[in-house]
A and B are shown apart, each in its own frame.
Chain A
Amino acid sequence: MKKVVMPGNETVAHAAIAAGCRFYAGYPITPSSELAAEMSKLLPRVGGKFIQMEDEIASMAAAIGASVAGMKSMTATSGPGFSLKQEHIGLACMMEVPVVIVNVMRGGPSTGLPTHPAQGDVMQARWGTHGDHPIIVLAPAFPTEIYMETIRAFNLAERYRNPVILLLDEILAHTYEVVEVPEEDEITLEERKLPPSGLDRLDFYTYERHEGDPPLLPNFFQGYNFHFESLAHDEMGFPTTDPEKVAYLSHLREAKIEKHKEKIWKNESYLVEDAELVVFAYGSVARAAKEAIDRLRAEGEKVGLFRPITLWPFPDKPLKRAVGKKKVLVAEMNLGQMVYEVERVLRRDVATLLKADGTPISPVEFTEKLREEL
């Protein structure tokens, strides 16, 4: 392990290289641009490819194209660019192509507040593309965690053959912090499972699989002449409108994530056990919460934090287990998005601390609000 001071955007780039990412396509957008800049520097050094495409849509497409051709592949963007990428995120879900998308959240809607943080894209990350689809969304909060979650994003994308979205915000992206960079042998990488090469059997490897498994699909140029299809397709990958077949593959796509939720979930419970009041917060907001909790604990107040690192699939069971019947305060840098998930899971109203003015929720604001709710 070595300690390096770098901003979140660079941390993601370095972690991506360590995870085996060898392709990046992007388009400049504040506050994610430094990530692209770092990748443009790092990728050629390891024989990888970086390309700045003509727009956000094209960069998502190129990343998918490179993945289909066998490369671990990534793109990064922010709010408006994330909206533009949505059609192709859906395509990667549909074709079951591994790809990692980083969204550095900024104030919105529209051009909004390009240089200020927000958490207004958590629902877009889940439901941004049209139609029903499975998705994995990770929201790290601390510098070393950003590094490790980037690696996990690639691992999950390859394991489940699905897009994985990594959410940062402007604060995490731009603050230079100490990252404990692990050595190569301290990280575990997952490689895409592929059918053996050299056969020419169209009917052999298909979207057919056991319920809960990802499909075993060949890469381009492996010798299978496989068809990747954006239309609803049958198990062979060819277009179909047969309701039974459409429903079947749609179910298989959902099931591969749904059945493995327990393995995908990751969260932190901080001083929750004896707490009377539990804060639900994620990303940089959770850091202010932690500081406030420490201050209040020093005064003898029983407060804790439940911090999901995996935002989607939503950690319903872990939240219920951690919180039980305790009082809950949901804090987010938006006007209320994840709070509805929390209320749905807990089947009751909860308190909120919401802010969407381009400034972070400070520990002082947290302390005051928590005192009010105690």
Chain B
Amino acid sequence: MSYMDYVRTFKLPHSWCPGCGIGTIMQAMVRAFDALKWKREDIAFITGIGCSGRMSTYVNANTMHTTHGRPLAFATGVKLARPEKHVVVVSGDGDALAIGGNHFIHAARRNIDIKLIIINNSVYGMTGGQVSPTTPQMFRTQTTPYGNIEPNFDVVKLAIAAGATFVARESVTRPRNLAKLIERSFQHKGFSVVEAISNCHINLGRRNKLKDQITMLRWINDRIIPMNVAKRKDPEEIKDKIILGVFHEDKERKEYTELYEELIQRAGGKK
């Protein structure tokens, strides 16, 4: 097996714009599948709507392309029905944090064993570049022509506060680290969140002087800082930086479907 066995090659070429980070993130993810030797038929791969949502077409597994913001709710049904299987969700920043924000915090609160990768490109790309909950302040988008006045969600803090038991962040500019990090999140039992910082030079960059992928990836690269490096810095010096690494890992807390099996035992239910 190679990581390409997890790709529906007959559906290529994909529909993403040239230079889009989603392809890189998908490769990091299928490399993690391959590294862990997961069987395709044991993987449920579920996406929502938006550029990230299209990934379910290209991944060779049990796949489902659902509605805007709700892939975690579908995944919850799948995981409860078949707790022994791997359930992976990819969602964008608009999908996971705006329309699907409620499902995100509640999946985290339950600590249900779903592996979530949030592709954060800070914009609604597919619909033409509207402001999202992670668009930087004063950035121009199709719906913030005078600059974005709203503050961002910090995905990591939100996930930890809501109860996710594995929370990490990596950047599309470091694909090997990203693959390793996703692999690690897949090994975690419980609700895991990996925020993958990505680029949309087409619908965000071009309105903000970052109009090609190299310029935008450089801009991302200038803003990121690995956690071990950040620890040695003066907090004031790095206050505008995006810190990368594993922020939270709780191996003690019980996972939801395991607790449910115990509940069935208590209720006297037969398996």
Which residues of A are at the interface with B, using a C-beta cutoff of 8 A?
23, 25, 43-49, 51, 53-55, 57-59, 61-71, 73, 87-88, 91, 95, 200, 202, 220-231, 238-239
A57: chain B residues at CB < 8 Å are 70, 73
| B78 CB contact (under 8 Å) in A47, A58, A65 | A65
Bound-state CA distance A150–B49 (Å) is 33
Question: On chain B, which size bracket covers the interface?
Answer: 35 or more
Given contacts A62-B74, A65-B73, A65-B77, contact A228 B270 (CB under 8 A): no
**A185 CA / B77 CA spacing, docked (Å):** 30
How many A-B pairs fall under 8 Å by CB?
A: 142
Q: With a CB–CB cut-off of 8 A, which chain B residues contact A95?
A: 64
Indicate if B253 sits at the interface (CB-CB under 8 A): no
> Cβ of A55 and Cβ of B102 under 8 Å apart?
yes
With a cutoff of 8 Å between Cβ atoms, the chain A residues found around residue B41 in the complex are 200, 221-225
Residue in B63, B66, B82, B103 whose CB lies within 8 Å of A69 = B82
Contact A49 B260 (CB under 8 A): yes
* Alpha-carbon distance A239/B46, docked complex (angstroms): 15
User: Is B77 a contact partner of A63 (Cβ separation < 8 A)?
Assistant: yes
Interface of A is mostly: mixed
Q: How far is the CB of A94 from chain B (nearest CB, A)?
A: 10
Contacts of A91 in B (CB 8 A): 66-67
Q: How far is the CA of A224 from the CA of B44 in the complex (A)?
A: 12
Nearest first, the 4 closest Cβ-Cβ pairs linking A and B are A65-B77, A62-B77, A61-B73, A44-B267
Q: Which residue of B lies closest to A90 (CB)?
A: B67
Indicate if B254 sits at the interface (CB-CB under 8 A): no
Contact A220 B102 (CB under 8 A): no
CB neighbours (8 Å) of B65 from chain A are 227-231, 239
Which partner residue on chain A sits nearest B60 by CB separation?
A225
Per the bound structure, the CA–CA distance linking A63 and B75 in Å amounts to 10
CB distance from B154 to the nearest CB of A (A): 21
Closest beta carbon of chain B to A197's beta carbon, Å: 9
Contact B82 A51 (CB under 8 A): no
A-B contact pairs, 24 of them (CB 8 A): A43-B269, A44-B267, A44-B269, A48-B269, A54-B103, A54-B105, A57-B73, A61-B66, A61-B73, A63-B77, A64-B77, A66-B78, A66-B81, A68-B77, A69-B78, A88-B67, A91-B67, A220-B44, A220-B62, A221-B41, A221-B42, A225-B60, A225-B63, A238-B11
